[in-house]
Each structure stands twice: as C-alpha cells, then as structure tokens.
Amino acid sequence: MRVVVELRPSPELLSAAAGSAAGISATEMTGELPGFTLDAGFSPVSLPPGVRFSDTSQQSTESYLVRGEIPDGDQAARQALAGAAGVTGIFADPVIEPVLTCGDDGVVGDWKKVAELLGRTELDAAGLTGEGVTVAVLDTGINAAKVREVSGATITIDAARSWNPAGVSGKAGEFAVDHGTMCAFDAFIAAPRSTFLDIPLLQSSRSGGSQMDGLLSDALAAFAHLRTVLTDQPEDRRALVISNSWGAFSPEWDFPVGDPGNYSDNPDHPFNVIVGSLDAAGADILFAAGNCGRDCPDGRCAYPERPITGANSHPGALSVAGVDTGGQRVGYSSQGPGRLADRKPDICSYTHFLGSTAFGADAPDTGTSAACPVLAGVVAAFRTQWPATQLPPARLRELLLKTAADRGGAGFDHDHGHGIVEPRALLAELRKAAARA
C-alpha cells in the first residue's frame, strides 16, 4: 500500500545539514526503516508546525513527509514502522482522479452566458479583471493555444512559477488538450487578466493507473510549492487562488475511518494540514464538491454516504457544487454533509455549458470540475482590488456565502450550500463596507 510517512530528522542529521533539512535527501532522511520501501524520486515535503486541527496534535517543530510503500494488510509491519526512530505518523496516499461527470445531457447555454450571469461587464468596468492575481490550476495541464482559440484572448502562463510532479515532462501551457485545459478556460471567463500557474498534478501516474490518475502525495508536494509562491509575493498584494477539480472517489485506497492514517475523515492527515496552512497564509483554496449526487452519481463513486471527503470538505476551502445556466442543480453534483465539515458544499457555480470544447465541438464543460474554476475566476477577479492581507480568505468566503442567491429553501442546504454565486451582490457588499470604513 502506498503511504506517506511523517518524520522528524534527528538532531545529528540536522546538525550535519547546518540546521536545515531542506538539502537532505529522502534516503538520508529515512535511513533503514522497517517494512518500508522508499520512493527515492519523491523529494521530502516540509509540513509546517502548529497547524493541526486537534489540540492534542499541535506541533512545535517542522516535520517532513516522504513517500513509499508498506505491505498490504500487514499490521505488524506497520506497527514496526510506526515505532521506528523519527517516525511520527503513517498516512494513506490515496489515488486522486479528475471530477468528470456521468451526465450525458446536452449543453445548457454557453460560456458567454456564464460571463453574463457572473456580471463580467460590470466586473470589467470596476477594474476586477484578475490583473496581478495568480491562479493555480492543479489538473492535467493547460493548453494555452486552445484557450486562445476558443476565447479569442491570450491566457498568461507563468512557466517559471508553474510546477511539474517528479517524472512528469512537458512545458507549462503546452500540454495536450484535456481536463486541465477545460478548467483553465473556465477560470479565464471571469478573470482574463490573471496570471496562471500550470500544475499538471494528474499527469503523475501510479503503477497500473491510467494517465488521469494521480497520488495525493503529489498534491502535497504541489501545495508545498504553492506555499513558497504565496510567501514570495509582496505581503500587501498577496493574491493566490488555487483551483482543484479532483478528489478521492473510493475508500479502497485509504485507511479505514478512525485509523490515524486515514485521509477522508481525518483533519490531521498531512494534506488536510497543508491545506489549512495555505489558507491561514492567505491563499484562496477551492475544491470541486464532486459528482456523486444521488440523482446521477459518477460510476466511480464508492462512498456509500457523505461523498464530499477529505480536502474537498475542508473548512478552510470553498467546496463548489454545480448548477446549469438556468439555475438548476445538476443531478451529479455531490450533496453534503461533508466529512471534515458538516456544512458542505459551500456554494454553487455554473457548469454543463458549451465552453472550452476540450472534449469535442458540442461537448459541455461539465461536472463540478467546471463549476470550481468558474468560481475560482470570480475570486481572482475580486482579488484584483482586495488582496488577502486586506480581505482574508475566511472573510471573503463569508461574503461570498452571504451574497449568494439562495436555492432550495431559506438558508443553507446540503444540495446547494448557501446558493448560487452572485458577483454583482458581492461587489455591492464590498463597496458598502469600503464606504463605511
């Protein structure tokens, strides 16, 4: 079974490395660990201290994460590894997959209708174009030429700050047209002047997996890279929006719920921890709610209930459900409650419209995969004027939910969250707040 192991380097090792573990290889970090086969190609990932959910697990020192395998179902081997010097945790490294859709209905509207519903004209008039804002798309890679062909405008890709998982070749903005191109196009609708980072996370493969599989440990490494991107930004103009249209569909690849190594329900899994640390540092993090809705679940959905799992249900992230351009919830959009936070999904955005044509001339941009980056573009547009140091991510989330157009009855519900995003109402609310200041 593929796992992530949390380690604290010995004082001797740190001393030899001049007090920093940054230059220590995975092999040096682990030494000989019982029952553990190290993936030496995966560079150790730093996990910040003091960001655990539970008081009992607060950490005062930095730890590091390495990837490898342990024997399937061998509890004795796992216990031996857990007891080895420096090992502080063993966590599941589940397969992650793009949030596509099982829906085969025709398109409902097009991307220009989505732009109209989002108030793109009003946002542009207010200068809310995404200028100076960084949008990271963690997916299969972006084809910038396809985005330009369909939209008629040029998407800006920052190759220097983009990032490939170990073993993934290809240049930022030049990947084959696929799911990631759809996601980039959909974020581009509301924030055409943003700078995009291409993070082809789902190009990472596992033994026996398809091209569209990835591993959660690669997402950990990607988020560690994005933490550096964020902290390198000028503090008074900090603006990083992270769009994630992927998730874990099956408990088969996870430790059981209640196991300390579990991902789906465990806020102290390292990936859930690093999501929390980036939120606290000022990143806006969005996850697709998933396509396991009761009306039309994706065929991969293997959770019998509460399918919004792990970071897709993180309290520090926006969990995005889907509606069509007529305002109707799409049947595949996952319903709550979530596993890390009960009140999920948070909000609805638009999907199932004719947009990028990444999957064919008449094929919709679909799934909560499309809804998530559409909303990411909205967030990026508002970050043009209100950086994270002025309007923290938690406050922006609060205002997005407050100004959403309610659906499904008064207040929050597990089908729609707080309703459909309403950028015009959000702009009016922020202008009122500025006038009062």
In the numeric block, the tokens 């997996």 are attached to 209
**Beta strands of 112-174 (E only): which ranges?**
134-138, 156-157
Asked if pLDDT for residue 18 goes beyond 60, the answer is no
Highest mean pLDDT among 97-101, 106-110, 174-178, 328-332: 174-178
CA distance 358 to 373: 15
Compute the Cα dihedral for 403, 409, 411, 413 and give only its sign.
negative
pTM tops 0.75, yes or no? yes
Within a 10 A sphere around the Cβ of 3, how many other Cβ atoms?
22
Residue 77, burial from CB neighbour count under 10 angstroms (0-12, 13-18, 19+)? middle
pLDDT of residue 432: 93
Q: Which tokens is 429 given?
A: 């609310």
What does pLDDT average to over the chain?
Answer: 90
In the numeric block, the tokens 């395998």 are attached to 69
Integer angstrom CA distances of residue 366 from 5, 115, 144:
36, 16, 19
What does the pLDDT look like over 109-159, one tens digit per residue? 999 999 999 999 999 999 999 999 999 999 999 999 999 999 999 999 999
What does the pLDDT look like over 411-432, one tens digit per residue? 899 999 999 999 999 999 999 9
All structural domains of the chain? 2-92 (no CATH), 97-436 (3.40.50.200)
User: Given its phi and psi angles, is residue 256 left (phi above 0), alpha (psi -120 to 50 degrees) or beta?
Assistant: beta
Q: Which of 257, 182, 236 is nearest to 212 (CA)?
A: 182
Distance of CA 102 to the CA centre of its chain: 21
Banded pLDDT at 272 (limits 50, 70, 90): very high
Strand partners, 288: 320
Q: Which tokens is 143 given?
A: 């084809």
Banded pLDDT at 208 (limits 50, 70, 90): very low
Question: Strand 246-247's sheet: what is its strand order?
Answer: 214-215, 95-98, 246-247
pLDDT of residue 204: 76
Q: Can you list the pairs that 361-365 forms with residues at least 24 positions away whose Cβ atoms lie under 8 Å?
A: 362/106, 362/107, 363/107, 364/106, 364/107, 364/108, 365/111, 365/182, 365/185, 365/186
Banded pLDDT at 21 (limits 50, 70, 90): low
Strand partners, 38: 68
Banded pLDDT at 190 (limits 50, 70, 90): very high
Integer angstrom CA distances of residue 158 from 141, 163, 169, 198, 282:
13, 10, 17, 8, 20
pLDDT of residue 179: 95
Within a 10 A sphere around the Cβ of 236, how many other Cβ atoms?
9
Banded pLDDT at 212 (limits 50, 70, 90): very low
Asked if pLDDT for residue 55 goes beyond 60, the answer is no
Q: Is 221 helix (H, G, I), strand (E, B) or coil?
A: helix
Q: Which of 372, 414, 332 is nearest to 136 (CA)?
A: 372
Q: Which of 42-51, 53-62, 133-142, 314-323 has the lowest mean pLDDT?
A: 53-62
